[in-house]
Copies of this chain bind each other. A is one copy, B any other.
Amino acid sequence: MSGKSLTSFGFCPLPIFDHKRIVLGHGSGGKLTADLIDKIFLPAFHNPILDKLDDQAVLTIGGTRLAFTTDSFVVTPIFFPGGDIGRLAIHGTVNDLAMSGARPLYLSAAFILEEGLPVDDLRRVIESMRAAAAEAGVQLVTGDTKVVNRGKGDQIFITTTGIGVIEHNVSISADRACPGDKIILSGYIGDHGMTIMSQREGLEFESAIESDCAPLNGLVTAMLTTSPANDFIHTLRDPTRGGVSTTLNEIAKHANVGMVLDERAIPVRESVKGACEVLGLDPLYVANEGKLLALVVPGMADAVLDRMRQHPLGQDAAIIGEVVETHPGMVLMKTEIGGTRVLDVMFGEQLPRIC
């Protein structure tokens, strides 16, 4: 079902999975990435922390629970409306920490620069990282710089790694998704991905699209303090590569639960819808860089939603569906016209080098 069902959603042509060589789809965050992880990385490194496959590891050191996460950023173009590779590198890692309920504290940054990169471009990226770190309240405490020959890199790649401390009595993980949980989405989807694609394709739309790149740690803190009770948020995930659909599929498969979404409840800007139509893409598979999905126990969902809407980054938050016992591992969506469609994980790559 997997590969085939996607063709009907405008994914054409399907990338050919050549098991002998790496293809762009292996970096998409979709099925090919999962394949690489399952077949090559996990068998080698397999351990209880890694095996959870959350976007961050949770470590206990000296009695303190820490979150630890890393991401390389290879987005092209490196400057785009609403952000740049530096802002993305800071907030992407801040967000992966926040998705465990951690308070992000310290970041490292490792740069791979291509010979010939204008120093002014580097300065601009660094200044953006400084501002982004200040905005998120994190400190950059260590780093590294390598330079590769012209034609052996692409301007600038940045790998940020973060450490945060989990202070709340929470256990937030994909495998805690539970039938009955409400699925909350924090706002409009597809802004980041369509911004990058529009830039690359040279498309202009009536209303400009801007990346939603933003640090979500403040929003998560607001959500966690909705009530003095603990453990009302089971899962948090930021739907980056592969979008909302891929992220929810990963959670559904990991926790062996089903999900039912309501298409009418999912906020998509008209400009993003338009851009997606032009390019034959589905907003549900398009990357976001300032949005989160939360799986919340039903009795607390409305209170969490209210709290989110009071935060600037959650004012368009909506309950978009729920976790169910039926069809474990599958995400279904009730469409606007009254049908039901299966949302699968992205197969290959829809949008390479989106982050």
A interface list, Cβ under 8 A from B: 19-28, 33, 36-37, 40-41, 44-45, 47, 49-50, 56-57, 59, 61-64, 66, 68-74, 105-106, 108-120, 122-123, 126-127, 129-130, 133, 139-149, 151-154, 157, 159, 161, 163, 165, 349, 352-353
Residue in A33, A152, A352 whose Cβ sees the most chain B Cβ within 10 Å: A152
In order of increasing CB-CB distance, the 8 nearest A-B pairs are: A27-B147, A62-B64, A161-B161, A159-B159, A70-B108, A57-B141, A152-B154, A57-B142
A117: B residues at CB distance < 8 A:
21-22
Which one of B26, B40, B44, B165 contacts A62 once the chains associate, using CB atoms below 8 Å? B165
Contacts of A69 in B (CB 8 A): 108, 142
A141-B47 in contact (CB<8A): yes
Contact of A140 among B50, B105, B118, B119 (CB under 8 A): B50
User: Which residue from B71, B116, B154 sits with its C-beta under 8 Å from A148?
Assistant: B154
Residues on the B chain within 8 Å of A116, using CB: 21-22
10 more A-B residue pairs beyond the given contacts A66-B163, A148-B157, with a C-beta to C-beta distance below 8 A: A20-B119, A21-B116, A45-B133, A45-B143, A50-B140, A50-B143, A57-B106, A68-B142, A70-B161, A146-B353
On chain B, the residues within 8 Å of A19 by CB distance are 119
- Contact across chains for A112 and B112 when beta carbons are under 8 A apart: yes
A158 to chain B, nearest CB (A): 9
Interface centre among A19, A112, A114, A116 (most CB of B within 10 A): A112
Task: Looking at the assembled complex, report how far the CB atom of A2 sits from the nearest CB atom of chain B, in whole angstroms.
Answer: 20
Given the known interface contacts A22-B116, A152-B154, the answer about A111 and B72 at a Cβ–Cβ threshold of 8 Å is yes
Complex formed: what's the CA distance from A73 to B22 in Å? 19
Q: Which residues of B contact A163 (CB under 8 A)?
A: 59, 61, 66, 68, 163
CA A203 – CA B217 in complex, angstroms? Answer: 54
Count of this chain's copies in the oligomeric assembly: 2
Contact of A141 among B37, B50, B112, B127 (CB under 8 A): B50
Closest residue of chain B to A105 (Cβ to Cβ) is: B61
Known: A45-B130, A152-B154, A153-B152. A68 touches B22 (CB 8 A): no
Please indicate the chain B residues that have their CB under 8 angstroms from the CB of A119 in the complex. Answer: 19-22, 40
Which chain B residues border A165 with CB–CB below 8 Å?
Answer: 61-62
Known pairs A45-B133, A57-B142, A130-B44; A21 contacts B147 (CB<8 A): no
In the complex with contacts A64-B61, A70-B161, A129-B44, A113-B22 CB distance below 8 A: yes
Cα–Cα distance between A349 and B130 once the two chains are bound (Å): 28
Residues of B near A151 (CB, < 8 A) are 151
Question: Once the chains are docked, how many angstroms separate the CA of A133 from the CA of B33?
Answer: 23
Does B50 lie within 8 Å of A142, measured CB to CB?
yes
> Contact at B352–A70, with CB atoms within 8 Å?
no
Asked if B147 and A23 sit within 8 Å, CB to CB, the answer is yes
Chain B residues with Cβ under 8 A from A149's Cβ? Answer: 24, 154, 352-353
Contact (Cβ within 8 A) A112 B72: yes
Contacts of A110 in B (CB 8 A): 70-72, 159, 161
